């Protein structure tokens, strides 16, 4: 193995879950783990077994990963308890994850104030816990909490903690700047001093962004000899977040001679992975994010734009395509065409760019995107749009009208009654059809009414399940009058998953558009024939 | 003057104005300039005279600054034109600003491709322009565009450009990483080499955040000898933004022995200045911003929260009050009783933990969280819940029922009609009241109907604005039947912002709950009396 190999360890599913406002479910965790694996991340920290039902469910049925090692996070044993009798420690080592990362103290002040034990007891805790875990799993990482503060306060004690972990069988010691207070030059210096005693290919860096330096400190730590970087997608994490792997990876791959498992081909997915995470979290991607932001390669008219037209190197530090992003020149409307063509190829529509249909397709996509549609993460709607323009999507049904009534009132016994009722009128197979259904909320009622009338005609719809439903407001500042984008994820019993999108000023109308696409996509994919008239 | 004195140069009003979506007016520029001055910034770059009417108006009637030097930005003369006959150059030096910063090329590739002139012509342009300006204003800064790329490509030429500027009378040379592509160690090394030839107290650093390293590179440049940092508030700027002075300043002041004009007293304004900028731009402040973000000192995990209660240094790298921010204990499903108690204290409810009411409060919070409420980010609903249980929230009104009807149909002319109509029945001041309103979507209709009936009774509601509306589905896997959580952010003209939350299986019902809390909170905060019967 080259001494330039740097391992990437992702904490999105654990540290990232600590972010204010972030609440992953199991499906989110599985989807993110798969994307991390596909990107070439070496370690995926899945969560903390025993800490909450979501993490237990995730580790109970862990996603199959191709390259990445699923890692469980946990704590070293409690003071005054043996490793055998510590339920938390036992939970940590008892999942399908063959790699575990265990946190312990290395700052004398913390040992004294937070744990209220002696330094030597702390060292015993580390040694016992690591040894216990090393017997039960393939690989143990020791997460040295507050290492930098600890090293500054008492370097001998902090190093003794690391040595205890190494002696007990840890594969890696993770130098954590837990409160994020270190400046980059201190991180570089201290990592350099640590790797004089512990080989760098056993030393990991774990930074938080409380001074806005987590990315730089991680890169400098690697220059100082560390060979593993821990961080999260989009810098997710509590307070100011963890080191942002989405910024670190392209700098490492494109601008240094360090080696990672992120090949140039895998790097092409970077922008997609970053946006997928935000979609899952139902939040707007940061436009100005390094490398992957929508504005990262945007050139506002004038001098810059024309210089970029002459030679992109004039104002671009890398080719945006290398990270799956693209140049955005505000003055010219020509940008994006090649990107849209690339997306057509991705869904199997290999059209000659000279074909006049291409212009119509590109125009249609641009028009929809202008209205607020986003096809990043709604591939099924994108496919339907493209195939619709090419004329090969049958007209399974046509909506005539719908009406949804929502009520909230109290009945004679003082009980709260909420009612949602949807009426749908549509035409299929030459017939006018109408149905009414109640539901648990207006979208559920609408979905029920649509299925009630369509399933007898199109039996494949029996096997259509709505898996997720997300709403995003696009023009905040206008409160409840804003434009609404609804994303629906559907699945069937064959394990197929597809996502559709609908946009409207009205949340119900936007939901209908996404529901309709979900139904039509299922029928189209199954090759259903249109209903006989 | 100490050799540790570092000057701070703010580009918010010029580089920041290039940000996608940013559009300052003159009043904005004046207000921001005053705040920068009050903060202790040394140079305030006001804009580019002659470039647009806003900048001309600003320089035409410049704000009176106490400490900061107002600086005009401009370009060196055009090729083939004398300095005297260059209208841009003349505009730059002809304002009330006695300091000017002038940009010129230092990268041979750019001189060749973008300007299409010889290297020696470029050096003449720099010398002529600086000399011309130095005769007319007190202080000239030479902004060396693409200096780092230029230095790597041809160090001798890049240095000759700097020397031409210094020889012609420049007070500072500004080393710009214009495309933001440099990694921190290269910035540190190159700045170190430059200050061997040009004294560091004449060398400024100007970084962009395209690799996420602008803050670190600025700090490292100062360590390497530069004595001026250029950046912007909140990292505003085109593409990924400029170096964020709001992150740089506290690190310099609190964590290094460099000296700036930002005294500890002035530093107390930092969070305010950062938020004021976002207010002016009408955008939500970044919660996770280093030092000043709402989450920067937020503690979510139960373990962290109880350790912080013992001693804040356990998980805080600085005292948040030093930068005008404050500690924030987040209430979440991970929080224990100590978290919730700390949160009560934060909203001014200083209850004895032994008080039997505390148990009821804690139980109520946990029950609501079990139902899907999240008070993390919905502080107003949390306050209402707590004060409601203590019995000090007046009953302003009671909902009897509501009904919302949504329709989508095509009229006789084939036009799509979507309609949302809400009917509300409620009791206030001993009267039964009813109203009906249409809206742009069901929640907007409901909001309109509520205001229509309540505003005449409670005039403060005239001054209530919905700023943001977010929907999150909590138990995906059940598709559209999932539980829905709605978060609403409201504001009034006093600059108050508050967030409320509502949960229900029905999105309309959840929205009603959040809307109701927003209205009640506004009335409660304003100390409104309940309607007379």
CATH number at B410 reads 3.30.160
Q: Examine the domain organization and report whether B405 and B490 are in the same domain.
A: no
pLDDT digits (tens, 9 = 90+) for A8-53: 999 999 999 888 778 788 888 999 999 999 999 999 999 999 888 8
- Helical (H) or strand (E) element with B156: helix B155-167
User: How many domains does chain B divide into?
Assistant: 3
Q: Examine the domain organization and report whether A365 and A407 are in the same domain.
A: no
Q: Examine the domain organization and report whether A422 and A518 are in the same domain.
A: no
Q: If pLDDT is split at 50, 70 and 90, which confidence band does A313 have?
A: confident
**Hey, is A52 helix, strand or coil?**
coil
Q: How far is B24 from chain A (nearest CA, A)?
A: 16
Domain boundary among A239, A262, A285: A262
Q: Is A16 inside any structural domain? A: yes
Q: Examine the domain organization and report whether A440 and A503 are in the same domain.
A: no
Cα distance between residue A41 and residue A231, in whole Å: 11
| Residues A7, A249 contacting (CB under 8 angstroms) | no
Residue of chain B whose Cα is closest to the Cα of A442: B506
Q: Examine the domain organization and report whether B415 and B520 are in the same domain.
A: no
Confidence (pLDDT) at A74: 96
Of B301 and A499, which is predicted with more confidence? A499
Confidence (pLDDT) at B220: 98
Cα distance between residue A116 and residue A152, in whole Å: 20
Q: Examine the domain organization and report whether B79 and B207 are in the same domain.
A: yes
pLDDT digits (tens, 9 = 90+) for B407-439: 988 887 878 888 899 999 999 988 999 999 998
Token couple for B79? 């090729």
Q: Examine the domain organization and report whether B22 and B135 are in the same domain.
A: yes
- The residue assigned the tokens 């309540």 is B454
Q: Is the pLDDT of residue A308 over 50?
A: yes
Q: Examine the domain organization and report whether B97 and B16 are in the same domain.
A: yes
Mean pLDDT of chain B: 88
Q: Which region among A81-95, A175-189, B3-17, B463-477 has the lowest average model confidence (pLDDT)?
A: B463-477
Strands A328-329 and A298-299: parallel
Q: Is the pLDDT of residue A334 over 50?
A: no
CATH number at B78 reads 3.20.20.70
Interface of B with A in 122-161 (CB under 8 A): none
Interface of A with B in 473-512 (CB under 8 A): 473, 476-477, 479-482, 484, 488-490, 504-509, 511-512
Interface of B with A in 342-401 (CB under 8 A): 374, 376-377, 399-401
Q: What is the DSSP string of A67-123?
A: SPEEEEEEEPPPTTS-STT-HHHHHHHSSS-SEEEEEEE--HHHIIIII---HHHHH
Domain boundary among B233, B262, B291: B262
Scored b (16 or more CB within 10 A) or e, B436-469 reads: ebebbbbbbbbbbbbbebbeebbeebeebebbbb
Residue of chain A whose Cα is closest to the Cα of B249: A211
Cα distance between residue A276 and residue B150, in whole Å: 37
Q: Is B388 inside any structural domain? A: yes
Q: Examine the domain organization and report whether B425 and B524 are in the same domain.
A: no
**Hey, is B47 helix, strand or coil?**
strand
Of A236 and A444, which is predicted with more confidence? A236
| Residues A79, A108 contacting (CB under 8 angstroms) | no
The number of C-beta contacts closer than 8 angstroms across A and B is 369
| Residues A475, A371 contacting (CB under 8 angstroms) | no
Cβ within 8 Å of residue A237, ≥6 positions away:
A11, A15, A16, A18, A19, A208, A209
Q: How far is A532 from chain B (nearest CA, A)?
A: 25
Q: In 10 A of CB A156, how many CB atoms? A: 9
The range of the structural domain enclosing residue B31 comes to 7-262
Q: Is A337 inside any structural domain? A: no
Q: Which region among A357-371, B34-48, B230-244, B449-463 has the lowest average model confidence (pLDDT)?
A: A357-371
The upper half-sphere exposure of residue B171, i.e. CA atoms within 13 Å in the direction of its Cβ, equals 15
Estimate the share of chain B in helix, then strand, then coil, as percent rounded to the nearest 5: 40, 20, 35
B314 to A110: CB separation less than 8 angstroms, yes or no? yes
Q: Is A68 inside any structural domain? A: yes
Cα distance between residue B142 and residue B105, in whole Å: 10
Confidence (pLDDT) at B361: 79
Q: Examine the domain organization and report whether B246 and B221 are in the same domain.
A: yes
Q: Is B312 inside any structural domain? A: no
Q: Is the pLDDT of residue A57 over 70?
A: yes
Scored b (16 or more CB within 10 A) or e, B22-48 reads: bebebebbbbbbbbbbbbbbbbbbbbb
Confidence (pLDDT) at B8: 98
Domain boundary among B212, B244, B262: B262
Confidence (pLDDT) at A335: 40
Q: Is B317 inside any structural domain? A: no
Cα distance between residue A296 and residue A283, in whole Å: 18
**Hey, is B106 helix, strand or coil?**
coil
Which among B505, B419, B480, B420 is positioned nearest to A451, based on CA atoms? Answer: B480
CATH number at A481 reads 3.30.160.340
Q: Examine the domain organization and report whether B451 and B469 are in the same domain.
A: no
Q: Examine the domain organization and report whether B108 and B171 are in the same domain.
A: yes
Q: Is B78 inside any structural domain? A: yes
Q: Is the pLDDT of residue A254 over 70?
A: yes
Task: State the best of B483, B506, B510 to mutate against chain A, taking most chain A CBs within 10 Å.
Answer: B506
Q: In 10 A of CB B309, how many CB atoms? A: 17
Token couple for B484? 């829905």
Task: State the best of A406, A489, A518 to mutate against chain B, taking most chain B CBs within 10 Å.
Answer: A406
Q: Can you list the positions of beta strands (E) in A271-410? A: 298-299, 328-329, 398-410
Interface of A with B in 180-219 (CB under 8 A): 180-181, 183-185, 209-213, 215-217, 219
Q: Which pTM does this prediction carry?
A: 0.74
Cα distance between residue B457 and residue B448, in whole Å: 15
Of A240 and A348, which is predicted with more confidence? A240
Q: Is the pLDDT of residue A247 over 60?
A: yes
Q: Is A258 inside any structural domain? A: yes
């Amino acid at each position: 193995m080259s001494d330039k190999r740097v391992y990437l360890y992702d904490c999105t599913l654990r540290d990232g879950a600590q972010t204010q406002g972030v609440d992953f479910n199991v499906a989110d965790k599985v989807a993110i783990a798969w994307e991390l694996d596909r990107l070439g991340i070496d370690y995926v920290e899945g969560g903390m077994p025993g800490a909450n039902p979501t993490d237990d469910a995730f580790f109970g049925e862990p996603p199959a990963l191709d390259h990445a090692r699923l890692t469980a996070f946990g704590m070293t044993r409690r003071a005054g308890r043996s490793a055998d009798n510590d339920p938390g420690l036992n939970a940590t080592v008892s999942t399908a994850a063959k790699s575990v990362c265990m946190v312990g103290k290395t700052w004398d002040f913390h040992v004294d104030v937070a744990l209220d034990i002696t330094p030597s007891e702390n060292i015993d805790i580390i040694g016992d816990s690591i040894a216990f875990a090393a017997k039960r799993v393939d690989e143990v990482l020791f997460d040295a909490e507050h290492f930098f503060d600890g090293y500054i306060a008492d370097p001998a004690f902090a190093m003794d903690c690391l040595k205890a972990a190494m002696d007990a069988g840890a594969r890696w010691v993770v130098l954590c700047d837990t409160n994020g207070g270190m400046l980059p030059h201190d991180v570089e210096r201290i990592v350099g001093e640590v790797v004089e005693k512990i080989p760098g290919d056993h030393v990991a860096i774990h930074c938080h962004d409380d001074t806005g330096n987590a990315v730089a400190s991680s890169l400098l730590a690697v220059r100082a000899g560390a060979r593993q970087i821990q961080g999260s997608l989009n810098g997710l994490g509590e307070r100011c977040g963890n080191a942002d792997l989405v910024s670190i990876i392209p700098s490492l791959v494109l601008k240094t001679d360090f080696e990672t498992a992120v090949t140039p081909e895998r790097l092409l997915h970077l922008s997609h992975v970053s946006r997928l995470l935000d979609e899952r979290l139902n939040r707007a991607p940061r436009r100005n994010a390094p490398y992957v932001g929508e504005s990262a390669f945007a050139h506002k008219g004038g001098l810059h734009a024309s210089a970029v037209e002459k030679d992109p190197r004039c104002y671009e530090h890398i080719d945006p395509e290398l990270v799956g992003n693209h140049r955005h020149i505000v003055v010219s409307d020509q940008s994006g065409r090649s990107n849209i063509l690339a997306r057509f190829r991705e869904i199997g529509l290999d059209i000659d760019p000279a074909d006049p249909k291409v212009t119509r397709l590109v125009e249609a996509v641009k028009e929809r995107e202008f209205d607020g549609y986003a096809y990043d993460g709604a591939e099924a709607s994108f496919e339907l749009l493209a195939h619709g323009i090419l004329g090969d999507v049958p007209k399974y049904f046509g909506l005539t009208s719908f009406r949804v009534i929502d009520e909230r009132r109290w009945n004679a016994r003082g009980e709260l009654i909420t009612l949602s009722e949807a009426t749908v009128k549509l035409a299929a197979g030459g017939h006018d059809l109408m149905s009414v259904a109640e539901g648990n909320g207006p979208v559920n009622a609408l979905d029920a009414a649509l299925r009630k009338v369509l399933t007898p005609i199109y039996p494949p719809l029996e096997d259509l399940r709505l898996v997720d439903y997300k709403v995003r407001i696009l023009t905040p500042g206008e409160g409840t009058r804003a434009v609404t984008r609804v994303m629906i994820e559907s699945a069937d019993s064959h394990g197929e998953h597809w996502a559709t999108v609908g946009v409207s000023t009205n949340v119900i109308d936007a939901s209908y558009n996404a529901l309709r696409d979900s139904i039509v996509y299922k029928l189209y994919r199954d090759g259903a024939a249109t209903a006989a008239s």
